[in-house]
Amino acid sequence: MDFNFTEEQDMVRDGLSRMVREQYDWETRRKAIESEAGWSPEIWSQLAELGILGMPFSEDVGGFGGGAMDAMVVMEEFGKGLVIEPFVPTVVCAGGFLKHGGSDAQKQEHISAIIGGERVFAFAYAEPKGRYNYADLQTTAKKDGGGYTLNGHKAVVIGAPWASHLIVTARTSGERRDQDGVSVFIVEKATDGVVTRDYETVDGRRASEVYFENVSIPSDALIGEEGAALPLIEQVADEAIAAQCAEACGAMKVAHSMTVEYSRQRKQFGVPIGSFQVLQHRMVDMYTAYETSLSLTYLATLKLDAPERERKRHVSAAKVGVGQAARLIGQEAVQIHGGNGVTDEYAIGHYFKRLTIFESEFGNVDHHMKRHISLA
Amino acid sequence: MNLDFTPEEQAFRDEVRAFIAENHPKHLEGMGNREDMSSEDMTAWHKILGKKGWSAPAWPVEYGGTGWTPTQRYIWSEENARVGTFMPLPFGVSMVGPVIYTFGNDEQKAKHLPGILSGDVWWCQGYSEPGAGSDLASLKTTAVRATDSEGDHYIINGQKTWTTLAQHADWGFFLCRTDPDAAKPQEGISFILIDMKSPGVEVKPIKLLDGGYEVNETWLTDVRVPVENLVGAENQGWTYAKFLLAHERSGIAGVARSKRGVEKLREIAANETIDGDPLIDDFDFARKVSQLEIDLTALEITELRTLANEQAGKGPGPESSILKIKGTEIQQRLTELTLEAVGNYGTPYYGSIAKDTGSNEYPIGPDYAAHSASTYFNMRKTSIYGGSNEIQRNIISKMILGL
């Protein structure tokens, strides 16, 4: 057993940590969020230059030969600085679909553009009535001559306003919620009939409702086998969950230390509020929740290549444990900050908001508890 | 990072599994915490391990440890939990032993370590007093130094309580006040070994919620103890006590045993029915079991991370308080859910039934239901002993959060 990180991973962590601290300070972040684009393409280019966007790809496609553990290191640091840029949709999700299911031509077409920072993806899987079931699809892709015709409505597609390409799940056969008949496509956002309604999210990102109105896509837009994509989608989603658990761990760590620091500075009744045992014990419980979350995140990340059942069970365990910790730490951090915790000015509220939204992405605690039970 | 076992570690697992299968007394399998065990039953496995040289794996090799890595020790506890062995009691091997080999002199090491390793000498812990629980440093038992024709000795007076299994103990390690005028209460305390057969030592059992007699009051009246029984320096006992508690906490999580407990709970819940269906298929119940299992997994990896730190040369520090808090919470929840799972058959008092029938076979209800309530009652102790979980939070707050 070995809990050590490789030298490369330590270097990446140090480099990213410095970059986030020095170039992703609170004001810079706020400006990017409030800008018209809503993100920082400059930061994205820098991440490409640093090799961060290529870390989890193998060397034969131009990557750096890393894997999920490297993505974990990256996401932890992003979580600490509440980095909003679309690493998960582009590198983890689109990258994951291409790695596990893409044809050689698709890999060639997209991966080096991802690594170079030139191509940004969004993952359009959710639907207005589908909740967290990846097979509960009303979007359809009908065979049409040499290609497909897409129709449907995808909900809350994170990062879609920044993306040039979408990964889209759609039903090619069968009924809503059937396990079979689910397919995945790469769709250029500029294709005729793709209509988006863009908006801000409560945690500082941008997203879109995406409508497909008789969109014609070529047959080589299909990733993997037609109608048999559900296991692939679940695998990529599990990889995204592990990465976001790492992000949440980073955010929880900072939210916790901000809270401890605040309790040292803030005086009431003539003494720092951190001297009150009732608050100390709550901050200890936050600390414990963070440490155990980190443990579950490590394990889930290490199990991403395990047999399907084992992988799912460990990923769900992590999402349950980290999701519960995210709620506890977010709420307690705000409470201990008192009135300042509910202001927009203090950073802590923004950590709370990100942690809140993290809880429901790719399935909330209840959803993953059910999956954990079903795999007992 | 890699949590897979190496081929060498797999081979080690096979070796210890085979040893346990060949040597663990069959009639003791799965006895676990049963209060109807005799004192011979409780030391049987310890004595077998002592002969093999495996009774104190965590000790330095020069004092009788096995030299196993933390991973091997983890495998060792897993394999013991699989069978449900009754592991060596902590008072000698995990508590006083490390204090003696770390702070004791050569005579003390030579005199006491062999009996601790072999399991021939039963130790008990004299820390708590009626007025000194969480505020342990307020303890009042006094040790006054005196000299007469028979040499230097301490005269010890006071009352200790919660002395676990002192009714069987040959020796005890006691915290006594040797300097009543010290500037801080922590500064005037000494760590003294007492032969429990000394005149003036009186042990009175305390009946607990489960009907058993696991702990005692220990009265010390003019007990004469040779000064050679002082461990380390006079008035430095608090330092040794804290060292001991940190050691105690790191083994207290009980992960391997709780994992086996969850498996058993699943078996029980598969056997019990609710509206004609297995209880384990009831969503409300299954959810509680899954939650327990997830929390246990988180604890397990956290313990392994702590062990890895320890292996890297960072001794058991304040993080071990996390293991104590989470480990005991999980042990308690496990007994809660087991009691919930057995339904009506949690109610009969099996202590009285055993007395009536004169046997350990319980004619009432399923076997697994016997003791479920008494174990639940008994395990309330875990969040209280070893420094209550509230005290553990104080430790983390001070030592890790810096508050």
Domain boundaries defined on chain B: 7-88, 123-236, 251-399
Q: How far apart are the first and last CA of chain B?
A: 32
Cβ-defined contact of B1 to A376 (cutoff 8 Å):
no
Compute the average pLDDT of residues B16-41: 85
- How far is it, in rounded angstroms, from Cα B14 to Cα B182? 54
Q: CA angle, A216 as apex, A214 and A220 as ends, to 5°?
A: 145
pLDDT of residue B28: 87
pLDDT of residue B245: 79
Cβ A80 vs Cβ A294: under 8 Å = no
Backbone φ and ψ for B361, nearest 5 degrees, come out as -85, 125
Tell which B residues from 259 to 298 touch A, by Cβ distance under 8 Å.
266, 280, 283, 286-287, 289-291, 293-295, 297-298
Could you tell me which of A261, A214, A241, A194 has the C-alpha nearest to residue A359?
Answer: A241
Cβ-defined contact of A373 to B403 (cutoff 8 Å):
no
Q: What percent of chain B has pLDDT over 70?
A: 94
* Catalytic position from the list B79, B214, B248, B300: B248
Is the pLDDT at B362 greater than 70, yes or no?
A: no
Chain B residue numbers with beta carbons less than 8 Å from the beta carbon of A263 are: 403
Cβ A196 vs Cβ A122: under 8 Å = no
User: Is the backbone of residue B343 left (phi > 0), alpha (psi -120 to 50) or beta?
Assistant: left
Give all domains of chain A, ordered by start, each with its CATH number: 7-118 (1.10.540.10), 122-228 (2.40.110.10), 231-374 (1.20.140.10)
Chain B residue numbers with beta carbons less than 8 Å from the beta carbon of A295 are: 297-302, 305
Q: How many CA atoms lie within 13 A of A247 on its CB side?
A: 26
Nearest-Cα residue of chain A relative to residue B75: A1
- How far is it, in rounded angstroms, from Cα A77 to Cα A248? 10
Q: Kindly write down the DSSP assignment for every residue of B29-63, as one continuous string.
A: TT-TT-TT--HHHHHHHHHHHHHHT-S-TTS-GGG
Q: Per this entry, what is the length of chain B?
A: 403
Q: Helices A230-265 and A347-360 meet at what angle, rounded to 10?
A: 160
| Residue type at position B377 | F
pLDDT of residue A42: 95
Backbone φ and ψ for B157, nearest 5 degrees, come out as -135, 135
pLDDT in tens, chain A (376 residues): 788 999 999 999 999 999 999 999 999 999 999 999 999 999 999 999 999 999 999 998 889 889 999 999 999 999 999 999 999 999 999 999 999 999 999 999 999 999 999 999 999 999 999 999 999 999 999 999 999 999 999 999 999 999 999 999 999 999 999 999 999 999 999 999 999 999 999 999 999 999 999 999 999 999 999 999 999 999 999 999 999 999 999 999 999 999 999 999 999 999 999 999 999 999 999 999 999 999 999 999 999 999 999 999 999 999 999 999 999 999 999 999 999 999 999 999 999 999 999 999 999 999 999 999 999 8
Give the DSSP H/E element, type plus range, for residue B402: none
B325 or B370, which is more confident? B325
Which residues, in sequence order, are CB contacts of B335 under 8 Å at separation 6+?
A: B372, B375, B376, B378, B379
Chain A residue numbers with beta carbons less than 8 Å from the beta carbon of B287 are: 369, 373
Compute the average pLDDT of residues B121-138: 96
Using only the alpha carbons of chain B, give its radius of gyration: 22
pLDDT of residue B386: 86
Tell which B residues from 29 to 88 touch A, by Cβ distance under 8 Å.
71, 74
Q: What share of chain B is helix, strand, coil (3-state, %, to 5)?
A: 55, 15, 30
Q: How many interface pairs between A and B have CB atoms less than 8 angstroms apart?
A: 111
Cβ A333 vs Cβ A351: under 8 Å = yes
Is the pLDDT at B337 greater than 90, yes or no?
A: yes
In the residue annotation, B15 being an active-site residue is answered as no
| Residue type at position B259 | K
Is the pLDDT at B356 greater than 90, yes or no?
A: no
Cβ A97 vs Cβ A184: under 8 Å = yes
Nearest CB partner across the interface for B305, out of A3, A274, A285: A3
* Per-residue pLDDT tens over the stretch B185-238: 999 999 999 999 999 999 999 999 988 899 999 999 999 999 999 999 999 999
Cβ-defined contact of B3 to A275 (cutoff 8 Å):
no
B333 exposure class (CB count in 10 Å sphere: 0-12, 13-18, 19+): buried
Cβ-defined contact of A376 to B286 (cutoff 8 Å):
yes
Compute the average pLDDT of residues B145-157: 92
Nearest-Cα residue of chain A relative to residue B285: A373
Tell which B residues from 372 to 391 touch A, by Cβ distance under 8 Å.
390
Cβ-defined contact of A2 to B283 (cutoff 8 Å):
no
A22, A26, A30, A32 alpha-carbon torsion, rounded to 10°: 10
Number of other CB atoms surrounding residue A57 within 10 Å? 24
Is the pLDDT at B249 greater than 80, yes or no?
A: no
Cβ B392 vs Cβ B342: under 8 Å = no
Which residues, in sequence order, are CB contacts of A375 under 8 Å at separation 6+?
A: A309, A312, A313, A316
Which residues, in sequence order, are CB contacts of A288 under 8 Å at separation 6+?
A: B322, B325, B326, B396
Cβ-defined contact of A287 to B298 (cutoff 8 Å):
no
Chain B residue numbers with beta carbons less than 8 Å from the beta carbon of A285 are: 393
Cβ-defined contact of B403 to A263 (cutoff 8 Å):
yes
Nearest-Cα residue of chain A relative to residue B399: A284
Chain A residue numbers with beta carbons less than 8 Å from the beta carbon of B71 are: 1
- How far is it, in rounded angstroms, from Cα B20 to Cα B14? 10
Decide if B123-236 and B251-399 have a common fold: no
Asked if A320 has any chain B CB less than 8 Å from its own CB, the reply is: yes
Cβ-defined contact of B403 to A69 (cutoff 8 Å):
no
Greatest Cα-to-Cα distance within chain B, rounded to the nearest angstrom:
79
pLDDT of residue B315: 65
**Interface with A, mutate which of B320, B326, B403 (most A CBs under 10 A):** B403
Is the pLDDT at B372 greater than 80, yes or no?
A: yes
Could you tell me which of B135, B375, B119, B387 has the C-alpha nearest to residue B250?
Answer: B387
* Residue B352 per-residue DSSP state: H
Cβ-defined contact of B390 to A263 (cutoff 8 Å):
no
Lowest-confidence pick of B186-190, B264-268, B300-304: B300-304
Could you tell me which of A343, A353, A358, A212 has the C-alpha nearest to residue A293?
Answer: A358
Chain B residue numbers with beta carbons less than 8 Å from the beta carbon of A277 are: 394, 397
Assigned superfamily of B123-236: Butyryl-CoA Dehydrogenase, subunit A, domain 2 (2.40.110.10)
Q: What is the mean pLDDT of chain B?
A: 92
Q: Does domain B251-399 have CATH number 3.40.50.2300?
A: no
Reported ipTM: 0.95
Is the pLDDT at B361 greater than 70, yes or no?
A: no
Nearest CB partner across the interface for B397, out of A3, A284, A373: A284
